[in-house]
Amino acid sequence: MTSNLEFPRFKQEINLTQYAASLGYEIDRRKSTRQSIAMRKGNEDKIIISRQNGNWVYFSVYDDNDNGTIIDFAKNRTNKSLFEIGRELQVWIGGNINLPEPTRYVSDVQEKQPDPRRIRRLFNYCSPAYDHEYLNSRGITAETLTSPRFSRRVFQDRFRNAVFPHFKGKQICGLELKGKNADFFVRGSEKTLWRSNTRRNDDTLIISETPIDALSYQILHSLDNAFYAATSGGFSPQLAGCLSKLFDNITRIKKVILITDNDGGGDTLTTKLTEIINQSKFSGTIDRCSPDTRGLDWNDVLKKQLGL
């Protein structure tokens, strides 16, 4: 019944940001890059759209099972059959539709391709951030950046952006930039986990959403036997694999503290992280420690305490 419908073409040729916009989704430009487009539908849903192997793909930040191509996107948001979805998308291929306003979608998305040689080359031009103007404005001073826990875990590029390196094994694989005008991964990055330094007597792992939240939490709580890992964004299948490897390689951990934001995204990420950890070899305790006030993250708490 669906044999005459061009499903492979739908996945590659229909701009998923256009289609999502037609269903009421809006671009979150602060959270979007040339390779990854964040779109929201009010408070109902948030999706991340990218390109892989020529196909437009997405995943929902709020539901692990909600991901795939435009076919899955339509199926999970309508009561239509596969045949009905195919007929609708065939019209999109034909161009006989009223497209949303151009400001509501992007014309194209660069396909993500890890480029470890490029990342290594760019990292060679970075220097340790022992004192950093942007991080200072967020309450993070040289004392923290030069401490044994974080020394040489935060760098800066030639534009004075803060650089948080991600590693795959012992090889640099990703560069996460933060600054006044920067909030993205460098092109060619492969995202894993940002991690602090570890010590032999560490028995606690603290998982944050961002490296800046990890630094902030340590400033606020001054923990001696805890090291940090940051997911640098929402959940993804790659994140699950990174965490599983982390727990396989570090067996001395007795406690995990999830310092996620006190909001809907933090609630969802906490649930997902807990599920991943429970499926690993970890046998200790899992706690959540989020800010008391709804809507805040730990850097918000630090800045408020410092009057910034």
The answer to whether residue 115 is domain-embedded is no
Asked whether residue 133 falls in the same domain as residue 100, the answer is no
Residue 267 pLDDT greater than 50, yes or no? yes
List strands edge to edge, sheet with 45-52: 26-27, 37-41, 45-52, 55-60, 67-68
Asked whether residue 207 falls in the same domain as residue 93, the answer is no
CATH number at 276 reads 3.40.1360.10
Asked whether residue 144 falls in the same domain as residue 49, the answer is no
The answer to whether residue 215 is domain-embedded is yes
pLDDT confidence tier of residue 209, bands split at 50, 70 and 90 = very high
pLDDT for residue 97: 76
pLDDT for residue 4: 62
For the chain, give the percent of residues with pLDDT over 70: 96
- Tell me how crowded residue 15 is: count the other CB atoms within 10 A of its CB: 18
The answer to whether residue 235 is domain-embedded is yes
The answer to whether residue 171 is domain-embedded is no
The answer to whether residue 41 is domain-embedded is yes
Helix/strand/coil for 237: helix
Asked whether residue 134 falls in the same domain as residue 235, the answer is yes
Q: CA–CA separation, 123 vs 156, rounded Å?
A: 9
- Please, are residues 79 and 1 in contact by the beta-carbon 8 Å criterion? no
List strands edge to edge, sheet with 255-258: 194-195, 226-230, 204-208, 255-258, 285-288
Q: Answer yes or no: pTM beyond 0.85.
A: no
Asked whether residue 84 falls in the same domain as residue 222, the answer is no
Asked whether residue 216 falls in the same domain as residue 98, the answer is no
Asked whether residue 206 falls in the same domain as residue 297, the answer is yes
pLDDT digits (tens, 9 = 90+) for 56-95: 999 898 887 788 899 999 999 988 899 999 988 988 886 6
The answer to whether residue 158 is domain-embedded is no
Asked whether residue 249 falls in the same domain as residue 142, the answer is yes
- Tell me how crowded residue 251 is: count the other CB atoms within 10 A of its CB: 9
Residue 50 pLDDT greater than 60, yes or no? yes
Asked whether residue 277 falls in the same domain as residue 142, the answer is yes
The answer to whether residue 162 is domain-embedded is no
Residue 116 pLDDT greater than 90, yes or no? yes
The answer to whether residue 156 is domain-embedded is no
- Give the list of residues 6+ apart from residue 65 with CB closer than 8 angstroms, or none: none
pLDDT for residue 207: 97
Residue 27 pLDDT greater than 60, yes or no? yes
Q: What is the mean pLDDT of the chain?
A: 90
4 versus 161: the higher-pLDDT residue is 161
DSSP assignment letter at 152: T
Q: DSSP readout, 179-234?
A: ETTEEEEPTT-----EE----TT--EEEEESSHHHHHHHHHHH--SSEEEEE--SS
Q: Cα dist. 19→60, 73, 151 in Å? A: 15, 9, 46
Asked whether residue 31 falls in the same domain as residue 69, the answer is yes
Asked whether residue 203 falls in the same domain as residue 288, the answer is yes
- Give the list of residues 6+ apart from residue 283 with CB closer than 8 angstroms, or none: none
pLDDT for residue 3: 47
Q: How many domains does the chain have?
A: 2
Domain range holding 62? 7-104
Asked whether residue 66 falls in the same domain as residue 142, the answer is no
Residue 5 pLDDT greater than 90, yes or no? no
H helix intervals, the chain: 7-13, 16-22, 70-75, 82-94, 116-124, 133-137, 142-145, 211-221, 237-249, 264-278, 298-306
